[in-house]
Copies of this chain bind each other. A is one copy, B any other.
Amino acid sequence: MSKPGFTRAEPDARRLSLIAATARVLAREGASGASVRTIAVEAGVSPGLIAHHFDGVHALIAATYAHVGDQVSTALEAAIGAVGDDPRARLHAYVAASFSPPIADRALLATWTALWGLVIAQPAIAALHDAQYAHYRSEIEKLLAACGMATKARRRAAIAITALVDGLWLELCLSPAVLDADEARAIAEAQIAALFR
């Protein structure tokens, strides 16, 4: 019986574990702490492994952004699926999910703010951001349409909802003492109700 010094992993599985480690580092130390060595220690691997699986650290961080964004999208869509067919209930479920786990998780929010800070300097990250938010708005517009909102009003309403949710999410992350999840949810629902009057 021999104990292996390390275990080989499937490339996809290893990439996922590196992405997860990157997200944890971003949440704990911010963007400036997300170095090759820090991430490698967090993932329990050698620094060189990152270059083997990703085209540099920038690519790993971009992949982390994309993955976190997909996690959020998945959680949001799951929230819709868990509720009935009433359009307004579906819209409320979609929005309320932003303030519940796993989206309202402090580590996820911290990861997201760290990534926001990279958008300006890195065009590749900015492109991911635009695509991500276009998707959110598109989903919200579909939900608004199901609620009977007129076509020309949807775009502006979707922007308003996205902005409100982002702002509340941000307050929840940066100043947890000021706002809790229940209050964020109540504020969001009240503001959305106003869009239908």
> Is residue A54 contacting chain B, with contact meaning CB distance below 8 A?
no
Give the A interface residue count (CB, 8 A).
Answer: 49
A147 and B35 CA atoms in complex are apart in Å by 50
Residues of A111-159 at the interface with B, using a CB-CB cut-off of 8 Å, are 113-122, 126, 129-130, 133-134, 137, 156, 159
- A103 CB to closest chain B CB (Å) equals 15
**Residues A32 and B32 in contact, CB atoms below 8 Å apart:** yes
A72 CB to nearest B CB, Å: 16
Residues of B within 8 A of A118 (CB): 30, 32, 117
- Asked if A29 is at the interface of the complex by the 8 Å CB criterion, the answer is yes
Q: In the complex, which residue of chain B has the Cβ closest to the Cβ of A134?
A: B178
Name the segment of A1-9, A78-86, A168-176 touching the other chain: A168-176
Are B170's CB and A163's CB within 8 A?
Answer: yes
* Separation of A120 and B195 alpha carbons in the complex (Å): 34
A194 at the interface (CB under 8 A from B): yes
**In the bound complex, how far is the Cα of B175 from the Cα of A187, in angstroms?**
25
Q: A30-B120, A117-B31, A117-B118 are in contact. Are A165 and B162 (CB under 8 A)?
A: no
A32-B31, A118-B117, A187-B156 in contact; A168/B179 too (CB < 8 A)? Answer: no
Asked if residues B164 and A160 are in contact (CB atoms below 8 Å), the reply is yes
Interface residues of A (CB under 8 A from B): 27-33, 110, 113-122, 126, 129-130, 133-134, 137, 156, 159-160, 162-168, 170-171, 174-175, 177-179, 183, 186-187, 190-191, 194-195, 197
- Smallest CB-CB A-B distances: 4 pairs: A117-B117, A163-B167, A194-B194, A30-B121
